[in-house]
Structure 1
Protein backbone atom coordinates (compact mmCIF):
# COMPACT_ATOMS: atom_id res chain seq x y z
CA UNK A 1 0.00 0.00 0.00
CA UNK A 2 1.29 3.43 -0.92
CA UNK A 3 2.55 5.24 2.19
CA UNK A 4 0.56 8.42 1.53
CA UNK A 5 -2.72 6.48 1.70
CA UNK A 6 -2.18 6.07 5.41
CA UNK A 7 -2.92 9.78 5.93
CA UNK A 8 -6.71 9.56 5.38
CA UNK A 9 -6.82 6.26 7.27
CA UNK A 10 -5.10 7.83 10.29
CA UNK A 11 -7.32 10.92 10.03
CA UNK A 12 -10.43 8.73 10.17
CA UNK A 13 -8.99 6.71 13.06
CA UNK A 14 -8.17 9.85 15.07
CA UNK A 15 -11.62 11.27 14.31
CA UNK A 16 -13.21 8.04 15.57
CA UNK A 17 -11.01 7.95 18.67
CA UNK A 18 -12.01 11.52 19.51
CA UNK A 19 -15.69 10.65 19.21
CA UNK A 20 -15.58 7.53 21.42
CA UNK A 21 -12.80 8.62 23.78
CA UNK A 22 -15.12 9.61 26.64
CA UNK A 23 -16.74 6.17 26.61
CA UNK A 24 -13.47 4.32 27.22
CA UNK A 25 -11.29 6.77 29.11
CA UNK A 26 -10.68 5.55 32.69
CA UNK A 27 -12.25 8.48 34.57
CA UNK A 28 -11.06 7.14 37.92
CA UNK A 29 -7.55 8.33 36.94
CA UNK A 30 -8.56 11.98 37.05
CA UNK A 31 -10.63 14.38 39.13
CA UNK A 32 -14.36 14.00 38.56
CA UNK A 33 -14.60 17.73 37.78
CA UNK A 34 -12.13 17.50 34.92
CA UNK A 35 -13.23 17.41 31.30
CA UNK A 36 -10.55 15.94 29.03
CA UNK A 37 -11.15 16.73 25.37
CA UNK A 38 -9.01 14.83 22.89
CA UNK A 39 -7.69 17.03 20.09
CA UNK A 40 -5.74 14.25 18.38
CA UNK A 41 -7.03 15.14 14.93
CA UNK A 42 -5.81 18.74 15.19
CA UNK A 43 -2.40 17.51 16.36
CA UNK A 44 -2.29 15.13 13.41
CA UNK A 45 -3.13 17.94 10.98
CA UNK A 46 -0.40 20.08 12.52
CA UNK A 47 2.10 17.30 11.85
CA UNK A 48 0.92 17.10 8.25
CA UNK A 49 1.32 20.87 7.84
CA UNK A 50 4.75 21.07 9.43
CA UNK A 51 6.44 17.92 8.16
CA UNK A 52 4.64 17.06 4.93
CA UNK A 53 2.26 19.39 3.05
CA UNK A 54 0.56 22.54 4.34
CA UNK A 55 -2.02 22.59 1.54
CA UNK A 56 -3.07 19.00 2.23
CA UNK A 57 -3.37 19.77 5.95
CA UNK A 58 -5.62 22.74 5.19
CA UNK A 59 -7.85 20.58 2.98
CA UNK A 60 -8.11 17.93 5.69
CA UNK A 61 -8.82 20.68 8.23
CA UNK A 62 -11.69 22.01 6.12
CA UNK A 63 -13.18 18.58 5.42
CA UNK A 64 -12.92 17.25 8.95
CA UNK A 65 -13.92 20.62 10.42
CA UNK A 66 -17.14 20.43 8.43
CA UNK A 67 -17.69 16.80 9.45
CA UNK A 68 -17.05 17.72 13.09
CA UNK A 69 -19.60 20.54 12.88
CA UNK A 70 -22.23 18.32 11.26
CA UNK A 71 -21.75 15.29 13.51
CA UNK A 72 -21.17 16.90 16.90
CA UNK A 73 -22.58 20.41 17.11
CA UNK A 74 -25.24 21.05 14.48
CA UNK A 75 -23.88 24.57 13.99
CA UNK A 76 -21.80 24.85 10.86
CA UNK A 77 -18.70 26.92 11.08
CA UNK A 78 -16.99 26.50 14.44
CA UNK A 79 -14.54 23.76 13.54
CA UNK A 80 -14.83 24.57 9.84
CA UNK A 81 -13.24 27.92 10.67
CA UNK A 82 -10.90 27.05 13.54
CA UNK A 83 -9.19 23.95 12.12
CA UNK A 84 -7.94 25.58 8.90
CA UNK A 85 -7.19 28.90 10.65
CA UNK A 86 -5.05 27.18 13.28
CA UNK A 87 -3.32 24.94 10.75
CA UNK A 88 -2.53 27.97 8.59
CA UNK A 89 -1.23 29.94 11.57
CA UNK A 90 0.93 27.08 12.82
CA UNK A 91 2.39 26.43 9.36
CA UNK A 92 3.31 30.12 8.99
CA UNK A 93 4.78 30.22 12.50
CA UNK A 94 6.85 27.08 11.92
CA UNK A 95 8.51 28.67 8.88
CA UNK A 96 10.03 31.19 11.29
CA UNK A 97 10.70 28.79 14.17
CA UNK A 98 12.82 25.64 14.08
CA UNK A 99 10.73 22.47 13.61
CA UNK A 100 12.20 20.60 16.57
CA UNK A 101 9.73 18.26 18.28
CA UNK A 102 10.02 20.06 21.62
CA UNK A 103 9.16 23.39 20.02
CA UNK A 104 6.35 21.78 18.04
CA UNK A 105 4.97 20.36 21.32
CA UNK A 106 4.67 23.87 22.71
CA UNK A 107 3.14 25.18 19.46
CA UNK A 108 0.66 22.27 19.33
CA UNK A 109 -0.46 22.93 22.90
CA UNK A 110 -0.78 26.61 22.04
CA UNK A 111 -2.89 25.68 19.00
CA UNK A 112 -5.13 23.48 21.15
CA UNK A 113 -5.48 26.37 23.60
CA UNK A 114 -6.54 28.69 20.78
CA UNK A 115 -9.08 26.11 19.57
CA UNK A 116 -10.48 25.56 23.06
CA UNK A 117 -10.82 29.30 23.72
CA UNK A 118 -12.35 29.78 20.28
CA UNK A 119 -14.98 27.10 20.86
CA UNK A 120 -15.59 28.29 24.42
CA UNK A 121 -15.93 31.91 23.30
CA UNK A 122 -18.35 30.99 20.54
CA UNK A 123 -20.48 28.92 22.93
CA UNK A 124 -20.35 31.66 25.57
CA UNK A 125 -21.43 34.38 23.11
CA UNK A 126 -24.33 32.24 21.87
CA UNK A 127 -25.21 31.45 25.50
CA UNK A 128 -24.83 27.73 24.92
CA UNK A 129 -22.63 27.66 28.01
CA UNK A 130 -22.51 29.80 31.10
CA UNK A 131 -19.32 28.24 32.46
CA UNK A 132 -17.14 30.92 34.09
CA UNK A 133 -13.71 31.39 32.53
CA UNK A 134 -11.91 30.21 35.70
CA UNK A 135 -13.90 26.98 35.69
CA UNK A 136 -13.20 26.53 31.99
CA UNK A 137 -9.44 26.99 32.43
CA UNK A 138 -9.14 24.81 35.53
CA UNK A 139 -11.55 22.01 34.68
CA UNK A 140 -11.45 21.83 30.90
CA UNK A 141 -8.45 23.57 29.35
CA UNK A 142 -5.77 22.30 31.73
CA UNK A 143 -6.92 18.63 31.63
CA UNK A 144 -7.31 18.86 27.85
CA UNK A 145 -3.75 20.11 27.48
CA UNK A 146 -2.45 17.34 29.74
CA UNK A 147 -4.26 14.65 27.78
CA UNK A 148 -3.07 16.00 24.44
CA UNK A 149 0.49 16.35 25.73
CA UNK A 150 0.48 12.64 26.58
CA UNK A 151 -0.83 11.89 23.08
CA UNK A 152 1.86 14.12 21.60
CA UNK A 153 4.63 12.47 23.61
CA UNK A 154 3.50 9.01 22.51
CA UNK A 155 3.13 9.75 18.80
CA UNK A 156 5.36 12.74 17.99
CA UNK A 157 8.45 10.84 16.93
CA UNK A 158 6.67 8.19 14.82
CA UNK A 159 4.54 10.85 13.10
CA UNK A 160 7.54 13.05 12.36
CA UNK A 161 9.47 10.10 10.99
CA UNK A 162 6.52 8.99 8.85
CA UNK A 163 5.82 12.43 7.38
CA UNK A 164 9.47 13.23 6.66
CA UNK A 165 9.78 9.86 4.91
CA UNK A 166 6.77 10.34 2.65
CA UNK A 167 7.80 13.94 1.96
CA UNK A 168 11.20 12.69 0.82
CA UNK A 169 9.55 10.09 -1.44
CA UNK A 170 7.20 12.75 -2.84
CA UNK A 171 10.10 15.12 -3.58
CA UNK A 172 12.07 12.31 -5.27
CA UNK A 173 9.07 11.43 -7.43
CA UNK A 174 8.58 15.08 -8.40
CA UNK A 175 12.30 15.36 -9.20
CA UNK A 176 12.19 12.34 -11.51
CA UNK A 177 9.56 13.90 -13.72
CA UNK A 178 11.17 17.33 -14.00
CA UNK A 179 14.12 16.24 -16.17
Structure 2
Protein backbone atom coordinates (compact mmCIF):
# COMPACT_ATOMS: atom_id res chain seq x y z
CA UNK A 1 0.00 0.00 0.00
CA UNK A 2 2.85 2.39 0.78
CA UNK A 3 4.03 2.24 -2.83
CA UNK A 4 0.71 3.76 -3.88
CA UNK A 5 1.13 6.90 -1.75
CA UNK A 6 3.10 8.90 -4.30
CA UNK A 7 0.82 8.20 -7.28
CA UNK A 8 -2.27 8.84 -5.14
CA UNK A 9 -0.91 12.19 -3.98
CA UNK A 10 -0.07 13.07 -7.58
CA UNK A 11 -3.58 12.12 -8.69
CA UNK A 12 -5.14 14.30 -6.00
CA UNK A 13 -2.88 17.18 -7.08
CA UNK A 14 -3.99 16.75 -10.71
CA UNK A 15 -7.59 17.10 -9.56
CA UNK A 16 -6.89 20.12 -7.35
CA UNK A 17 -4.90 21.88 -10.07
CA UNK A 18 -8.15 22.29 -11.95
CA UNK A 19 -9.73 23.91 -8.92
CA UNK A 20 -6.78 26.18 -8.12
CA UNK A 21 -8.13 29.21 -9.95
CA UNK A 22 -11.19 29.14 -7.67
CA UNK A 23 -8.94 29.44 -4.62
CA UNK A 24 -7.49 32.76 -5.74
CA UNK A 25 -9.01 36.08 -4.68
CA UNK A 26 -11.19 37.63 -7.39
CA UNK A 27 -8.79 40.57 -7.78
CA UNK A 28 -6.02 38.20 -8.86
CA UNK A 29 -8.16 35.72 -10.78
CA UNK A 30 -9.74 38.46 -12.90
CA UNK A 31 -6.53 40.48 -13.38
CA UNK A 32 -4.18 40.44 -16.36
CA UNK A 33 -1.89 38.00 -14.56
CA UNK A 34 -2.02 34.34 -15.57
CA UNK A 35 -1.15 32.02 -12.70
CA UNK A 36 -0.76 28.39 -13.71
CA UNK A 37 -0.82 25.79 -10.95
CA UNK A 38 2.09 23.39 -11.41
CA UNK A 39 1.44 21.53 -8.17
CA UNK A 40 2.17 18.16 -9.73
CA UNK A 41 5.51 19.48 -10.95
CA UNK A 42 6.34 20.90 -7.51
CA UNK A 43 5.60 17.53 -5.91
CA UNK A 44 7.67 15.79 -8.59
CA UNK A 45 10.60 17.97 -7.54
CA UNK A 46 10.11 16.68 -3.98
CA UNK A 47 10.18 13.12 -5.31
CA UNK A 48 13.31 13.81 -7.39
CA UNK A 49 15.16 15.41 -4.47
CA UNK A 50 14.03 13.37 -1.47
CA UNK A 51 12.75 10.04 -2.81
CA UNK A 52 14.85 9.03 -5.80
CA UNK A 53 18.30 7.56 -5.37
CA UNK A 54 21.18 8.08 -7.77
CA UNK A 55 20.06 5.16 -9.92
CA UNK A 56 16.26 5.33 -9.55
CA UNK A 57 14.05 7.41 -11.81
CA UNK A 58 10.58 7.29 -10.25
CA UNK A 59 10.22 11.05 -10.54
CA UNK A 60 10.87 10.98 -14.30
CA UNK A 61 8.44 8.11 -14.89
CA UNK A 62 5.79 9.90 -12.82
CA UNK A 63 6.51 13.13 -14.71
CA UNK A 64 5.72 11.49 -18.04
CA UNK A 65 2.67 9.64 -16.70
CA UNK A 66 1.06 12.54 -14.89
CA UNK A 67 2.10 15.03 -17.56
CA UNK A 68 0.14 12.92 -20.03
CA UNK A 69 -2.79 12.78 -17.61
CA UNK A 70 -2.77 16.59 -17.36
CA UNK A 71 -2.67 16.75 -21.17
CA UNK A 72 -5.70 14.48 -21.43
CA UNK A 73 -7.73 16.22 -18.71
CA UNK A 74 -6.84 19.91 -19.06
CA UNK A 75 -4.80 20.65 -22.19
CA UNK A 76 -5.98 20.86 -25.74
CA UNK A 77 -2.85 19.32 -27.21
CA UNK A 78 -1.55 15.89 -26.17
CA UNK A 79 2.08 15.58 -25.18
CA UNK A 80 2.87 19.18 -24.25
CA UNK A 81 2.80 18.73 -20.47
CA UNK A 82 4.15 15.19 -20.71
CA UNK A 83 7.19 16.36 -22.64
CA UNK A 84 7.81 19.52 -20.63
CA UNK A 85 7.37 17.86 -17.22
CA UNK A 86 9.58 14.95 -18.30
CA UNK A 87 12.38 17.24 -19.50
CA UNK A 88 12.13 19.50 -16.43
CA UNK A 89 12.26 16.62 -13.95
CA UNK A 90 15.09 14.96 -15.90
CA UNK A 91 17.07 18.21 -15.52
CA UNK A 92 16.21 18.40 -11.81
CA UNK A 93 17.23 14.76 -11.32
CA UNK A 94 20.58 15.49 -12.95
CA UNK A 95 21.18 18.70 -10.98
CA UNK A 96 20.21 16.98 -7.75
CA UNK A 97 23.20 14.66 -8.16
CA UNK A 98 25.66 17.56 -7.93
CA UNK A 99 23.87 19.65 -5.29
CA UNK A 100 23.25 19.01 -1.60
CA UNK A 101 19.79 18.02 -0.47
CA UNK A 102 18.48 20.92 1.57
CA UNK A 103 15.64 23.40 1.61
CA UNK A 104 17.39 26.06 -0.48
CA UNK A 105 18.37 23.59 -3.17
CA UNK A 106 14.76 22.38 -3.23
CA UNK A 107 13.61 25.97 -3.86
CA UNK A 108 16.24 26.46 -6.58
CA UNK A 109 15.33 23.21 -8.29
CA UNK A 110 11.63 24.02 -8.11
CA UNK A 111 12.19 27.41 -9.73
CA UNK A 112 14.34 25.70 -12.37
CA UNK A 113 11.70 23.06 -13.06
CA UNK A 114 8.81 25.53 -13.25
CA UNK A 115 10.77 27.91 -15.47
CA UNK A 116 11.87 25.12 -17.80
CA UNK A 117 8.50 23.38 -17.98
CA UNK A 118 6.41 26.51 -18.34
CA UNK A 119 8.87 27.93 -20.87
CA UNK A 120 8.66 24.74 -22.93
CA UNK A 121 4.86 24.80 -22.73
CA UNK A 122 4.83 28.44 -23.90
CA UNK A 123 7.28 27.66 -26.71
CA UNK A 124 5.30 24.66 -27.95
CA UNK A 125 2.00 26.52 -27.77
CA UNK A 126 3.55 29.44 -29.65
CA UNK A 127 4.97 27.18 -32.38
CA UNK A 128 1.67 25.39 -33.00
CA UNK A 129 -0.29 28.63 -32.85
CA UNK A 130 -2.31 28.11 -29.66
CA UNK A 131 -0.98 31.35 -28.13
CA UNK A 132 0.35 34.57 -29.58
CA UNK A 133 1.55 36.22 -26.38
CA UNK A 134 4.80 38.12 -26.86
CA UNK A 135 7.85 37.15 -24.79
CA UNK A 136 7.85 40.19 -22.48
CA UNK A 137 4.15 39.75 -21.66
CA UNK A 138 4.72 36.06 -21.04
CA UNK A 139 7.61 36.77 -18.71
CA UNK A 140 5.88 39.46 -16.65
CA UNK A 141 2.25 38.37 -16.76
CA UNK A 142 2.56 34.59 -16.67
CA UNK A 143 5.99 33.18 -15.76
CA UNK A 144 6.85 35.34 -12.73
CA UNK A 145 3.38 35.09 -11.09
CA UNK A 146 3.36 31.35 -11.79
CA UNK A 147 6.77 30.87 -10.16
CA UNK A 148 5.78 32.89 -7.09
CA UNK A 149 2.44 31.11 -6.64
CA UNK A 150 3.97 27.65 -7.01
CA UNK A 151 6.81 28.50 -4.62
CA UNK A 152 4.19 29.45 -2.06
CA UNK A 153 2.57 26.05 -2.59
CA UNK A 154 5.99 24.38 -2.23
CA UNK A 155 6.64 26.25 1.02
CA UNK A 156 3.30 25.17 2.44
CA UNK A 157 4.04 21.53 1.64
CA UNK A 158 7.60 21.45 2.97
CA UNK A 159 6.83 20.84 6.67
CA UNK A 160 4.19 18.25 5.79
CA UNK A 161 6.02 16.20 3.20
CA UNK A 162 9.79 16.26 3.52
CA UNK A 163 10.16 13.78 6.38
CA UNK A 164 7.45 11.48 5.00
CA UNK A 165 9.00 11.30 1.55
CA UNK A 166 12.43 10.58 3.00
CA UNK A 167 10.93 7.86 5.23
CA UNK A 168 9.03 6.30 2.30
CA UNK A 169 12.23 6.28 0.29
CA UNK A 170 14.15 4.57 3.08
CA UNK A 171 11.40 1.98 3.54
CA UNK A 172 10.84 1.17 -0.12
CA UNK A 173 14.19 1.61 -1.82
CA UNK A 174 17.43 -0.19 -1.14
CA UNK A 175 19.85 2.33 0.29
CA UNK A 176 22.82 0.00 0.19
CA UNK A 177 22.33 -1.27 3.74
Q: TM-score, normalised by structure 2?
A: 0.89
**If each structure's helix is expressed as a fraction of its own residues, which one has the higher value?**
1
- Displacement of 1:25: 2.0
SS of residue in 1 equivalent to 2:57? helix
SS of residue in 2 equivalent to 1:73? coil
Q: How many residues align?
A: 174
- Displacement of 1:98: 0.8
- The CA distance in 1 between the partners of 2:172 and 2:61, in whole Å, is 18
Q: Give the match for residue 143 of structure 2.
A: 141
Q: What stretches of structure 2 of length at least 5 have no aligned partner?
A: none
Contact 2:21 2:29 in 1 (8 A): no
- Displacement of 1:170: 2.1
Matches within 5 A, 1:27-176: 27-29=26-28, 32-53=31-52, 54-171=56-173
- The CA distance in 1 between the partners of 2:76 and 2:22, in whole Å, is 21
- The CA distance in 2 between the partners of 1:132 and 1:74, in whole Å, is 20
- Structure 1 133/171 Cα, relative in aligned 2: closer, same or farther at 3 Å? closer
- The CA distance in 2 between the partners of 1:116 and 1:155, in whole Å, is 21
- Displacement of 1:171: 4.3
C-alpha deviations, 1:72-123, integer Å up to 9, x for none? Answer: 2232221121111111110110100111111110111111011111111111
Q: What stretches of structure 1 of length at least 5 have no aligned partner?
A: none
- The CA distance in 2 between the partners of 1:46 and 1:57, in whole Å, is 8
- Structure 1 125/167 Cα, relative in aligned 2: closer, same or farther at 3 Å? same
- The CA distance in 1 between the partners of 2:175 and 2:92, in whole Å, is 27
